[in-house]
Amino acid sequence: MSRPLTGPLPRPDRCIVLVGLMGAGKSTVGRRLARRLGMPFIDSDEEIERAADHKITEIFDRFGEASFRDGERRVIQRLIGGVPKVIATGGGAFMDERTRTLILSEGIAVWLDADAETLAERVTRRDTRPLLRGVDPLPRLLELAAARNPVYAAAPIHVRSESLPHEATVDRIVEALAAREVEG
């Protein structure tokens, strides 16, 4: 059960876009956040697969990462328009400068940050991560974190995703959004 927040829930007038490394909880937390705020939820990876009629691993294998990132940017651009919603992005989406600029200018970026050990434990539950196929996840995640965390830090909201119930992370995001509305 989530703890009640004081005051009304925030009502963002723009999309909330969750960014961070694979395994940070963007999809799981995003679904719960959307439910809490009464907003639609979209997973950009699922939308990419639907648009391409291929799994992400197939897109990487057949067309390469550059082609995937181009399609990803176009899908996120489409998603970020229209009705405000919660969007979970793939771990590399925010690394593309044009995608990052779009997210920062049109949405509310929230960086879900977790330590590499927690991420490694979480990502071993599924083998659908192209950047982790055939490698030990912990060293690869440490390498990705070193390269990507300074870029993720451009997100105006930074929330730690720890080994706590997902609702605790949702609470932290809602509190940060509410504080942003008060400041805004």
Question: pLDDT digit string (tens) for 6-56?
Answer: 556 787 899 999 999 988 999 999 999 999 999 999 999 999 999 889 888
Q: Is the pLDDT of residue 117 over 80?
A: yes
What is the pLDDT at residue 26? Answer: 94
Say how far apart CA 20 and CA 122 lie, in whole Å: 14
Give pLDDT tens digits for 64-107: 888 888 989 999 999 998 899 999 999 999 999 999 999 999 99
CA gap 63, 66 in Å, rounded:
8
Q: Is 45 helix (H, G, I), strand (E, B) or coil?
A: helix
Domains of the chain by start residue, with CATH: 15-178 (3.40.50.300)
**pLDDT recorded at residue 106:** 96
- Give tens-digit pLDDT for 126-143: 555 555 565 677 888 899
Strands of the chain, DSSP E: 15-19, 41-43, 86-88, 107-113, 157-160
pLDDT band at 1; cut points 50, 70, 90: very low
Tokens coding 57: 């691993």
